[in-house]
Structures are given as C-alpha cells and as structure tokens.
Structure 1
Amino acid sequence: MDHLFYKLKETITRIFSGKYIFAQFVAIIFTFIIVNSGFDYMYFLAYDKTYIQHIFFSAVVAGGIIPIIFPLWTLLYGHLFKNKKVTILGNMLAQAVALGWIISSFYKSLTGRIPPAHTLNSLIDLSRDFSFGFLDGGVFWGWPSSHTTIAFAMALTIWSVYPRHVLIKYTTLLYAIYIGFGVSLSIHWFSDVIAGAIFGAVIGLSIGKSFSEKIRDSR
C-alpha cells in the first residue's frame, strides 16, 4: 500500500511546475490552433459514419477496461511470483490511471467542451463550442480526452521501468496511439486527443521520475 501513494505529493507538484506545466500550456496552444483552423471539424467529417469509425470504436471500450484490469493484473502477478519490479510497476500504473483520470476530469470541469454529435447535428460545426466555468459541461465529455490521457500515462510509466526493452516500448506506444486514434473518431475531437497525449506523457514521466530510485533498487 505504501508504494501506491509513494511520493504522490511530489509527483503532483512536479506535474504542475517547470517544464511539465509548460507542456500543458503547449497542449492548450495546440488546441487553440487546431480548433480555430477548422481542422477538428474537417477531421470529424472525414471519418463520421465510416467503416473505420465502427472498427475503431473498440478503442472506446478497451480504453475504459484495460486501465482497470492491467494494473490489478500486474500487482497480482508481482505478488504471486515475488517479483518486486513488477509489483512496483503495478503501483505506478495505478497512480498513472488515477492521476490521468483526476487531472483530465479537472480540466474538463473547467472547459466544458461539447463532444462530436454523430446525428443530424453533425452538419453543425460544434468543434468550437466550449462552456468555460466550473462544471458547466460536466466531467464525462470534453477536453482533454481521459481515455488518451490515461493510455499515454500508462505507456510512459511502463517506459520508465523498461527503458531498454524495445518490444515493450513499441507495444505500449501502439496501444496508446490505438486508444487515441479510436476515440478521436467517435467520442472526442482530434484536439482533445492531442492534448490528452501531452497530459498523459507529463503524468507518466513525472511518475517515472518519482519512482526512479525504487526502480533502480529492484534491478
């Protein structure tokens, strides 16, 4: 249990300071550019009601289930086989999922972005519609994508534990891209996903830095 909250305060402080908070400003700037260029809506129209959209809807489901199952499985595996490194990874992943959801939900509560409408309303450009204020648009939909934030947070967390394992690094990156691309075709705008990837990377890197000493000791 101590690993689960290990240096949590330090991690949160790091996320909202220095180069990490700068990266979040970059996400905001990218979003501003993408939204105002009209690319969000053009991207939406290109894939709306297409075969590829139906195929990749699986990412919406996977992005909700895997962040729950995988950290639990990792923790169970680590404890059963007395593998200290895997146990630490399980705790890191639990932090990544929790912080990814909390931080993305916090931003959603302030931005209140309207999600894409896959109905007759898809003929109306809603990509520029934000409802700034606290909880004006809830925390379920909006900017940034929680699915993507959590997926990239998990991927970068795993990278910090296995920095030289090429197969693991590419597999986790492909998973994160799959989740991000999938939700960008259905429940999120493209810029939601770009921002989510940046936020997720910030979270994953921060957790990796906090746990760096424990990771070294487990080798």
Structure 2
Amino acid sequence: MNLKWSMLPFLLAPALFAAPAPEPDSQESKNKPFSIIYHPFQGLWDNSLAVFSLENTLYYHLPSVASTTLLVQTNWDYDYQLFSQKNNLMPKTVSQGMLDAGWYMPLVLPAAVYGWGFAWGDSSWQMHGASALQALGLTGGFTMALKSLTGRRGPDKDLANPGTTSSSFRRTTDAADFQFEFWKNFERGDGRFFWPSGHTSSTFALAASFTATTRSWVVGVLSYGLATTMGYAMIDGDHHWLSDVISGALLGHVVGWTVGTSFRNRDQPVKAGSWRLTPMTGFGYTGIGAAWYF
C-alpha cells in the first residue's frame, strides 16, 4: 500500500465541512451529548425503493446501461483504456493510493462525522453522517448485486501486449466479456466482478449525500471533485473500464442524492401546492401513494 497517496482523501476531507451548513428548521442543532437524533436506518426501506423511482430509472439507471452498451459496442471502452495505458496521465503511485484509500475512506469519513455529531449532540452533523452511512450501505449492496449478476472481467493491464503483466485474477482484452450467470461469478480468481466500479459508486454516493444534506456548493465542488478523481484513478490504474466508472458514478449519485434529500427533508414543513410520491408496502400489496398538500 502506498501510504503517502492513500492518505490524500483524508487530507482533503476536512475541507468538505469548511462551509457552514444550513440547519434543519424544526429543531435546534445542539442537543444533549450522546443523544440520537438521526441514525443510519431511518427511512431505509422507503429510500431503497425511491432509488428506483420512475424518474431515477429514466435519468440514471437506463443511461447507465445505455452508456455501457454504447462504449462496448463502439469499442470506445477498449480504445480509451489503451489510450490511458499509453499516456499515463496520472502517476501510478497516485492511482494505487486512491485504490487503497477507497477500501476504507468511504466508511471512515461518514462514521467520523456521525460520531462527532453523536458525541456533541449536534443534529446537523448526525444528519450528514447518518445519511452518508445509509447511502454507502445501499450503494454497496446494489453495486455488489450488479457485479455478481453481470460477471464482467476487468481490462488487461497491458492491452498492447496482453498476458504479459501479472494479476491476482483473470483479466481480458475484450470489453464485452460479461457473464450473466451469477451463480458462477463468485470465484475471485475468475475476476468477474468489475461492473460497476465500487470505488467510484461509493465515493459518488458520499459526494451526493453530503451535498444534498449540507446544500453547500463548496462541499459539492470538493466532494464531487474527489469522487471524480477516484473514478479517473480507477481507469488510469487499469482497475476498471471507462464504462465501469461511468455506471458507478451514476449509481452512486442517484443513491446518495435520494438518501441525502430524504434526510434533509425529514423535518422540513411541506409547502402548500406541492405533491409527493411515496413507496408503500403491506401484506399482499406493493404500490405508490400520491399526496397533494394544500
């Protein structure tokens, strides 16, 4: 592990909360220390369903599949990977450091934010941390499900001279190397777990969640900038195809924004003339409830 570069996200992370965040309207920001105002399981079921709303499906999930199909069928996935390998726009130490940090940074950062809010009774920080933890959990679950269902192999580390570099699992020169047999896709050595990129989806989920709850453009610029850097590191370090990263970014954003907005709106009064759609489940039925406020 390259410790120097793997610490980069942690050095940048404190700046995410440099700008003051708006506080929820219906309660004071400060409460008794060690009191729970928000927790990561609030609205979990409703939020997990809302991620796949018609709007999110049209704007994020379908474009994710469409972009992957386009990049694979046009051979742009392969061409860009080859371009990246020839030009090395990012030093390998940086891309490897980002990969290393991506295993633990997405969990440590929101846990620290939530822990701070819990210890000091700060509802605002609890909201940021709880929302991010829930977004991270949902994103991780959806990402792993898609990885096992699609069974895609990662790019060979030297497409111009395939098979000449070592790897702990099988790689491919064929960007279309998917295997839609999930019961066969769990063996690590076979390397069928690349679509979408989990490092990218998790960092974009945090960026979207933090931006949605803080409503701060400073947080948005810094967090999405960090997430974009993570995504590019996955390509430049030959850890993922371009389409893996694009799909991971779309998935992470839609989950993080949906969850973050839900937490942010929990204590906000509903404006007259607005309407909401809410997922509903019960014994023997599943549906969507519509409400108009006046």
CA RMSD of aligned residues (A): 2.2
Number of matched pairs: 216
Match 1:32 to one of 61, 69, 79: 69
1:59 and 2:98 are equivalent in the alignment: yes
- State the distance in 1 between where 2:267 and 2:252 align: 20
**Structure 1 residue 16: deviation in Å?**
1.8
CA shift digits 1:126-147 (9 cap, x unpaired): 2111011214333873111111
CA shift digits 1:61-109 (9 cap, x unpaired): 1221211210111012112222111011111111111111110111111
1:161 and 2:213 are equivalent in the alignment: yes
- The percentage of counterpart residues that share the same residue type is 26
Aligned residue in 1 for 2:49: 13
More strand, by proportion: 2
**Structure 2 CA distance for partners of 1:53 and 1:190, relative to 1, 3 Å:** farther
Structure number with higher relative contact order (C-alpha < 8 Å, ≥ 6 residues apart): 1
- One-letter identity of the residue aligned with 2:120: F
- State the distance in 1 between where 2:111 and 2:260 align: 19
The aligned runs of 1:1-219 (5 Å cut-off) are 3-22=39-58, 23-48=60-85, 50=88, 52-54=90-92, 55-118=94-157, 120-121=161-162, 125-138=173-186, 141-163=193-215, 165-185=216-236, 186-214=238-266, 216=268
**Which consecutive unaligned segments of at least 5 residues does structure 2 have?**
1-35, 165-171, 270-294
Q: TM-score, normalised by structure 2?
A: 0.68
Contact 2:128/2:210, CA 8 A, preserved across alignment: yes
CA shift digits 1:139-159 (9 cap, x unpaired): 873111111111111101011
Query: Computing the radius of gyration over CA atoms, which structure comes out larger, 1 or 2?
Result: 2
- State the distance in 1 between where 2:265 and 2:89 align: 47
Contact 1:30/1:191, CA 8 A, preserved across alignment: yes
- One-letter identity of the residue aligned with 1:130: F
**Which consecutive unaligned segments of at least 5 residues does structure 1 have?**
none
- State the distance in 1 between where 2:91 and 2:144 align: 25
- One-letter identity of the residue aligned with 2:54: G
Contact 1:71/1:94, CA 8 A, preserved across alignment: yes
- One-letter identity of the residue aligned with 1:182: A
Contact 2:128/2:214, CA 8 A, preserved across alignment: no
- State the distance in 2 between where 1:211 and 1:77 align: 18
- Extract structure 1 runs of 4+ deviating beyond 4 A: none
- State the distance in 1 between where 2:184 and 2:235 align: 22
- State the distance in 2 between where 1:214 and 1:178 align: 32
